[in-house]
Amino acid sequence: MDDAPETDEPNAAPHAPPSRLPGSVRALLRIPLFYKILIANAVLVLVGTLFGTLVTARFVRDEPGASLLGFTGLLALIGIAVTLLVNAVILRVALRPLDDLERTAARVQRGELDRRAPVSPVADRELERLRRTFNAMLDTAAAYRTRLREVAARALSAAEEERKRIARELHDETAQMLAALLIRIRVVRNSRDPAQMEPLLDGMREDVSRALEGIRRFARGLRPPALDELGLVPAIEGHARSLEEIAGLKVELRADDVAGDLPPEAELATYRIVQEALSNVVRHARATRATVTLAHERGRLVVTVEDDGRGFDPDNVMSTEGGGLGLFGMKERAGYIGGRVEVASTPGTGTRVRAEIPLHDETPE
């Protein structure tokens, strides 16, 4: 990994720009901590040995009858003190980047979410790699929070638009039909001629049928009744057939028997993931064919949606502001029930969405 310092991180205040330090000093500071301590202690031993030998030889020459025990003991104490002092300084300086990481983590925990660990001129390669990994983790968390806000805003907007649509259709269709029924009921009550009542009753019957179909359409839009009445696979099959009729997309379904394997919330999440994946195929892929597969694998339900469309770059879409919300929403739905979603695609080769859904409840408590 390149060890060049990063200087464009928000709210990161380096202690001293490494570029202002002499090259030899920067090279020494980049030495790993283990070798810093090893070299320092080797130098201390060498210098201490030479110094102790010279001082002892001079002491013996100047004081031939004196005892060496006290003198050598004093030299040993001085050597131990110098060794501890030098090691303490090295450790204090070398571990300063860890203190920066700890302070940054504490400030992020207090709510300063844009805070990042600063570049340190005394960090070795391992500590610099740790700093970059730490900052990358914070950047990923920040991007995740941004995506969550975008998905929440989109979900709120979609829910509001759906309410408006339902209110408009109820007012313009259902309410108008019921009002017309009231008028026809009044006419029938006042009529004494059977010949006039028959066409009125037929018209009332047609209006009731249209109103009932509209209400059923609202219900299907809010939650597919086939999911509750028939199960996951028939609900997906019904949605696939409707896409064939509406969008002309040929959808092939291959499914194991999953009846009773998933709790209701997992069934709904799986259905919505498939629904979103097929919706993306219709809207963006320019595909003519899609395949949906549901299969048991190692205690999980693996769901794949593949198409023969034009493909795309998932990383580029996810990194684009406001883009990839459908992909992000699928991953969030799977995450809520302890599963995960992976999207594999390259331009010109189609797209493959793979979801792993636990067959038993693995959501965190």
Q: Report the C-alpha gap between 219 and 10 in whole angstroms.
A: 49
14 — pLDDT class (breaks 50, 70, 90): very low
For residue 211, pLDDT over 90 is answered with no
Per-residue pLDDT, averaged over 122-129, amounts to 79
Can you give the chain as a three-state secondary structure string? CCCCCCCCCCCCCCCCCHHHCCHHHHHHHCCCHHHHHHHHHHHHHHHHHHHHHHHHHHHHHHCCCCCHHHHHHHHHHHHHHHHHHHHHHHHHHHCHHHHHHHHHHHHHHCCCCCCCCCCCCCCCHHHHHHHHHHHHHHHHHHHHHHHHHHHHHHHHHHHHHHHHHHHHHHHHHHHHHHHHHHHHHHHHHHCCCHHHHHHHHHHHHHHHHHHHHHHHHHHHHHCCHHHHHCCHHHHHHHHHHHHHHHHCCEEEEEECCCCCCCCHHHHHHHHHHHHHHHHHHHHHHCCCEEEEEEEEECCEEEEEEEECCCCCCHHHHHHCCCCCHHHHHHHHHHHHCCCEEEEEECCCCCEEEEEEEECCCCCCC
Predicted pLDDT at 23:
62
- The encoded tokens of residue 33 equal 């901590």
Q: Is 311 left (phi over 0), alpha (psi -120 to 50) or beta?
A: left
Selection from 79, 96, 12 nearest residue 41 by Cα: 79
In this predicted model, what pLDDT tens digit does every residue of 31-56 receive, in sequence order? 776 777 777 778 878 887 787 778 77
Per-residue pLDDT, averaged over 263-290, amounts to 90
Q: Are 288 and 250 a contacting pair, CB within 8 Å?
A: yes
Per-residue pLDDT, averaged over 317-333, amounts to 73
Predicted pLDDT at 47:
81
Per-residue pLDDT, averaged over 164-193, amounts to 77
Across 57-66, 122-131, 290-299, least confident range: 57-66
For residue 61, pLDDT over 90 is answered with no
For residue 8, pLDDT over 50 is answered with no
For residue 134, pLDDT over 50 is answered with yes
Across 130-134, 137-141, 155-159, least confident range: 155-159
In whole numbers, what is the pLDDT of the chain averaged over residues? 79
Most confidently modeled of 112-121, 161-170, 203-212, 303-312? 303-312
- Which residue carries 């980049």 as its tokens? 30
Q: Are 241 and 271 a contacting pair, CB within 8 Å?
A: no
| CATH, range 224-358 | 3.30.565.10
Indicate the domain borders of the chain: 18-123, 153-221, 224-358
Better-scored residue on pLDDT, 76 or 282: 282
359 — pLDDT class (breaks 50, 70, 90): confident
Predicted pLDDT at 221:
66
The C-alpha angle 35, 38, 43, rounded to 5 degrees, equals 120
